[in-house]
Structure 1
Amino acid sequence: MEFQGDTGGRTGPGSRLIRAGYALDGREGCISRARHHALAFLERAVTDHCLVVSVRARDLTQIVVSELVTNALKYAPGPVLMELGITVERVEVTVWDSAPLVPVVRAADPGRIGQHGLEIVEAVSEHLSVRQEPVGKRVTARITLPDPLA
């Protein structure tokens, strides 16, 4: 399931130009499909709104989507929803799942095997937040569109 919306031509720095949501079923290939949705969403932002989306932003968005969706599928029963939003400055990736437990970014530990997902997301994102909902939680990461040194 997918929803898409346009925000009626608002183009201020903080105004979302478009947003899209996807229900992810958890079946084989789900994480790959989530990344594909994210790339198609960014391409739509480029073609429909003439935004500049750097290669870096595309790559980081795929990493963030992979990590957040993987965590949701691994630790939460039931459905997972992914919402993407974009402004002229950043892309926002939000993943909702039904697990009430709020994840915590663990300290860096090169000897630890696994459980680096949120650590990675925090490192590559401009902002990371976790918000409890009446059912489950939402994890949101924001990624800057232009290259920081450009």
Structure 2
Amino acid sequence: MQLRVTSPYQTTAEKFFGQLKAWQVDEVVDIRLHNTTQLDGFSKYPDIAYFCETICHAGYAHDTDFSPAPEPMKEYVHGEISWEEFSSDYRRAMEAKHAAKLFLERYGRFASVAVIGAATKQRRSHSEVLAELVEAAQQ
């Protein structure tokens, strides 16, 4: 399985879905904790599921089993904790629930998977950490 990480924030729908098409993604796994607010724009549910299917011919899953806990995410977004603290906390939580194995059980049958996180130009995303764990489990 080819695993890619992306974010719909601070980009256009054209660039976002163009990237998914270029990667020939057949499944999009959204691991954002919340995906239904108006602030999510073109990436809010259920619109994003429709766009993934129509534009990219890919499936869509919102899987909060891989989302961060709300409090650390809030602290990171508001600058109360560093990326290092947040990513370490998230990594420990994912390792404790064997997230890499679970991810591969659910999505390992797909050739190309894109994981959607909440990265912006100012902050990194937990999706990077999950991708590292999954890639290590595949080796």
Give the structure-1-normalised TM-score.
Answer: 0.36
Which structure is larger by alpha-carbon Rg, 1 or 2?
Answer: 1
When normalised by structure 2's length, the TM-score is: 0.38
Larger RCO of the pair (alpha carbons < 8 Å, separation 6+): 2
From the two aligned structures, give the one with the greater helix fraction: 2
